[in-house]
Amino acid sequence: MTATLSAPAPVTTAPRQIRWLLRLHRPAVYTWAILVVGVAGALLWLWGPLTDAAATAWHDYRTTCARDLPCRYDQDAILRYKDVYQYTTAVILAVPFLTAAWAGAALTGREVEAGTVRLAWTQGVSPLRWLAARLALPALLVTAGTGLLALLHHVAWSAGEGRIDTAKHWYDVPTFYSGGPLIAALALTGLAIGALAGLLTGRSLVALCVSALSVAVLWIAVQMSLPHLWPTVAGVAGRGRFPTYSGIKVEEGIVTSTGAHVPASTCASDASAWCQRFNDQRHAAGFYVDYHPYSHYWPLHLVPAGLLLALTAVLTTLTFWLLHRRTTGTPTKAARAVGAGRGGATGAAR
Amino acid sequence: MVEYRIDRHSGVATYVQIVQQTKQALRLDLLRPGDRLPTAREVVEATAINPNTVLKAYRELEREGLVEARRGLGTFVRRSLGATPADSPLRGELEQWADRARAAGLERDDVAALFTAVLDTYFEGDPT
Amino acid sequence: MSSDTALRAEALGKRFGLRGGWALRDCSFRLPAGRVCAVVGPNGAGKSTLLALAAGLAAPTEGSVTVLGTTPAAARPRVGFIAQDKPLYPQLTIAETLRMGADLNPGHWDTDGAEQVVAGGDLDPEARVRTLSGGQRTRVALALAVGKRPELLLLDEPMADLDPLARHELMGTLMAQAARGTTIVMSSHVVAELEDSCDHLLLVGGGRIRLSGEIDDLLAAHRRVSGAAATTPLDPHTVIESRVTGRQLTALIRPAGPLPGDWRTATPSLEELVLAHLRNPGAPALTPADTADTADEEEHAA
């Protein structure tokens, strides 16, 4: 009477996880798409019409007001350029925080909190493959989206250089971060931090806060270490003059009579009579400034980005290890010995 | 087709209830030779009892030669039980007796006790 | 890979946190395939932990659990699991939930079986999961588990917060699944509702296995006896529980030999057996499978 189960057909197709990952996180996918398309559109607008209009306005300004002629220039065009530039920059800078918060809250935290992981992990997909899909697809979308925005931001910023008097320098902090691969690396690290925090805490709100805060701390650390990640160049000047440099100043000091560079916290120039006397006393032969010129732009992006990717890899490995240990971990040697040594005693009373 | 009703509080083992109810249906001519008994799956879906209990009852019926299992087809009635269809003369006599008992002032429990006592005397040792 | 043992635990233990208490300790038992097994015990006894270990949702701290002859991780595609709170994705419709099941269990998904379980509950496939009642959620969760064509179905308190009608329907669906040959393991803290449906028992108390085996065998191994207190020596038998009222002694024992004729004896009900063991945590455990199948075990180890 009992019908025997027919043997399951051999598994021919891989589980279609991606489709359901997209379905379950549809609001996030739509939000991300709107954000990328919107900011990309704004940056294209900035790059073309807005930059041209603002450049024309600045040209008019220089040929009228600056020559004490009656001012005749389009101030609105300049302000519009500035506004759009600031807004797009701010949104791009928010991406790592948004990614981390979302990953912590929705990607893993809520699943653990609501218990749906126990549904997901008991389908025909192992927890590790579940995590792999959950990290790979967002990583791809975040990298592509953020990369595109950073590229457009860089292009739009370059278009204003030398044409718009108030265009930001390359070493302006928001401009620097929003225009290169470093922002994409920060977003990826945010994703890894969020996924780990969500899995560890199992509370979406806690994971959200922890992830966003971790990204802030990480960003400060990147900002502090950034100048020291690539060799600087030195600008040198004799006594009574100032070393010329343009870029990120890292260190300044005096050049001794032997040619050695000694960092100085005060009087790194003969700016006052007091400093002049002070520099005479310490036998300063000149002054120097260690700095990063614009030519260091790409190394300064790529080196920390590489370090962040390494950190991301470590965090991801940790997340996988943690999940493996939690769900399918192998018992310790001692435990196996207990299992092997099992005798009749197990049936006896405590 | 017979439908089983399981009484959890009767004190009678569940598989025995199935055997008894099948026999009852055979006696009352509700099941006839060639009829198919419900599959274990059908029974357990309706009664929420363990399928092995149904199989055990069917094996018991098979052992008594009342039904036979045909592989892949189901369990079928082989022969009917007794000669007491619902309209048999014996039933008529019993109804008359019950009528007299009520007229004599006996209550339901009195009649049941009396009937059980007589059953025990005449059918001692028979399987239920 | 196939095995006549659906579930086997050997000195299984699970502790939460490094200094946390043991949720489960020193558990050894064997559940043959094709059974409907009740995992019974008070709340917090370790039932959920045991099921989570078998489902590969948690790793043992010590010992091992073997599922369908292999590790819980390797058995995952062949095991259905429903957690106590019936987790489902609230934003999906019922139809989407089942399609997800099909996509995540390629090669062995039973579309008809899953849809039948849903249809049995008169549910609208386009209804969103978040709008469903407790009983309806249970039905969808069960459809998802059944659609997997599991050889082993693990259910954690499937009857909790269901009304009597939904309980009966759900149990009917489960028994129909059992009739197809699926081994079913379900936990409950209510014994009465399992008596007719289950044929195997695992009694868990205080994180340990107290009773394990076929329910018929376990009942047959125990007697409820009563006799005169002064003349009833219980010595040779294992006493689970005994009580003296006046001159009368009543006890639940595990006979070690023939019982004297002047005792009144009866087979206990399942509920009596379970309650007696739970009331007396010191009573010795009885796990026949533990000793009877050592040969079988060696065979698997080889």
Residue A348 has pLDDT above 50, yes or no: no
Query: What is the pLDDT at residue A32?
Result: 97
**Structure token pair of residue B118:** 């007589």
Q: Give ipTM to 2 decimals.
A: 0.86
Name which of C83, C85, C94 is nearest A123 in CA terms: C83
The one-character DSSP state at A330 is: P
Local confidence band at A343 (pLDDT 50, 70, 90 cut-offs) = very low
Query: What is the pLDDT at residue C38?
Result: 94
Please give, one letter per residue, the 3-state secondary structure of B36-72: ECCCHHHHHHHHCCCHHHHHHHHHHHHHCCCEEEECC
Query: What is the pLDDT at residue B85?
Result: 57
Torsion, CA A243, CA A246, CA A250, CA A253, rounded to 10: 0
Cα–chain center distance at A1: 64
Question: CB distance from A333 to chain C under 8 Å?
Answer: no
The one-character DSSP state at C231 is: G
Residue C191 has pLDDT above 90, yes or no: no
CB contact under 8 A, C28 and A12: no
Cα–chain center distance at A154: 15
What number of C-beta contacts closer than 8 Å exist between A and B?
Answer: 13
Which one has a higher pLDDT value, C162 or A181? A181
CA distance C105 to A160: 55
What number of C-beta contacts closer than 8 Å exist between B and C?
Answer: 48
Chain B residues with beta carbon closer than 8 angstroms to that of A3: 41
Amino acid at position A42, single letter:
A
Residue C119 has pLDDT above 50, yes or no: yes
Residue C64 has pLDDT above 80, yes or no: yes
Cα–chain center distance at A190: 7
Average pLDDT over residues A116-124: 92
CA distance A265 to A253: 7
Chain C residues with beta carbon closer than 8 angstroms to that of A348: 284-285
Place of tokens 């399992």: C194
Chain B residues with beta carbon closer than 8 angstroms to that of C198: 50
Chains that touch B (3 or more CB pairs under 8 A): A, C
Select from C174, C179, C196 the Cβ nearest to the Cβ of B6: C196
Query: What is the pLDDT at residue B36?
Result: 92
Question: CB distance from A6 to chain B under 8 Å?
Answer: no
φ, ψ of residue A92 to 5 degrees: the values are -65, -40
Per DSSP, the three-state class of C93 is strand
Question: CB distance from A265 to chain C under 8 Å?
Answer: no
B64 by Cβ neighbours in 10 Å (0-12 / 13-18 / 19+) ranks as middle
Chain B residues with beta carbon closer than 8 angstroms to that of A2: 40, 51, 55
Residue C292 has pLDDT above 60, yes or no: no
Query: What is the pLDDT at residue A220?
Result: 97
Which residues numbered 324-343 in A keep a CB inside 8 Å of some CB on B? none
Choose the weakest-confidence range: A37-41, B77-81, C127-131.
B77-81
Query: What is the pLDDT at residue B84?
Result: 56
CB contact under 8 A, A2 and B75: no
Select from A13, A117, A347 the Cβ nearest to the Cβ of C107: A13
Angle CA(A198)–CA(A202)–CA(A206) in degrees, nearest 5?
70
Q: What percent of chain C has pLDDT over 70?
A: 93
Domain with CATH 3.40.50.300 in chain C: 5-215+289-296
- Ramachandran area for residue B87 (φ above 0: left; ψ -120 to 50: alpha; else beta): alpha
Which one has a higher pLDDT value, A108 or C189? A108
Domain boundaries, chain B: 14-77, 89-122
Q: What percent of chain A has pLDDT over 70?
A: 90
Select from A12, A120, A346 the Cβ nearest to the Cβ of C28: A346
Chain A residues with beta carbon closer than 8 angstroms to that of B59: none
d(CA A339, nearest CA chain C) in Å: 5
Select from C168, C180, C199 the Cβ nearest to the Cβ of B52: C199
Q: How many CB atoms lie within 10 A of CB A84?
A: 18
**Structure token pair of residue C290:** 């533990």
Question: CB distance from B69 to chain A under 8 Å?
Answer: yes
Query: What is the pLDDT at residue B86?
Result: 59
The one-character DSSP state at C41 is: -
Q: Which CATH class is domain C5-215+289-296?
A: alpha beta
Query: What is the pLDDT at residue C120?
Result: 79
Select from A124, A335, A348 the Cβ nearest to the Cβ of C284: A348
CB contact under 8 A, C178 and B45: no
For the stretch A11-31, what's the b/e string if a residue is b when 16 or more beta carbons lie within 10 angstroms of its beta carbon? eeeebbbeebbebbbeebbee
Q: Outline where DSSP puts E strands in chain C.
A: 5-15, 22-32, 36-40, 62-67, 79-82, 152-155, 183-188, 200-205, 208-214, 223-228, 238-245, 248-254, 264-266
Chain C interface residues (partner B, CB cutoff 8 A)? 36, 168, 171-176, 178-180, 195-199
d(CA A196, nearest CA chain C) in Å: 18
Per DSSP, the three-state class of A41 is helix
CA distance C222 to C241: 11
Name which of A330, A331, A327, A329 is nearest A125 in CA terms: A327
Chain B interface residues (partner C, CB cutoff 8 A)? 6, 8, 14, 39-41, 44-54
Local confidence band at A333 (pLDDT 50, 70, 90 cut-offs) = very low
d(CA A4, nearest CA chain B) in Å: 11
Cα–chain center distance at A19: 27
d(CA C109, nearest CA chain B) in Å: 20
CB contact under 8 A, C291 and A118: no
Q: Outline where DSSP puts E strands in A141-256.
A: 233-238, 248-256
Chain B residue nearest residue A4, CA to CA: B72
A48-65 pLDDT, tens digit each: 899 999 999 998 888 888
Residue C228 has pLDDT above 50, yes or no: yes
CB contact under 8 A, A16 and C104: yes
Cα–chain center distance at A336: 45
CA distance A111 to A131: 12
Local confidence band at A144 (pLDDT 50, 70, 90 cut-offs) = very high
Select from C28, C80, C92 the Cβ nearest to the Cβ of A342: C28
Question: CB distance from A2 to chain B under 8 Å?
Answer: yes
Question: CB distance from A122 to chain B under 8 Å?
Answer: no
For the stretch A271-303, what's the b/e string if a residue is b when 16 or more beta carbons lie within 10 angstroms of its beta carbon? eeeebbebbeeeebebbbbbbbeeebbeebbbb
**Structure token pair of residue C287:** 């796990």
d(CA A149, nearest CA chain B) in Å: 59
CA distance A119 to A127: 11
Chains that touch C (3 or more CB pairs under 8 A): A, B
> The domain B14-77 is classified under which CATH number: 1.10.3720.10, 3.30.110.70, 3.10.310.70, 1.10.10.10?
1.10.10.10
Chain B residue nearest residue C36, CA to CA: B50
Local confidence band at B117 (pLDDT 50, 70, 90 cut-offs) = confident
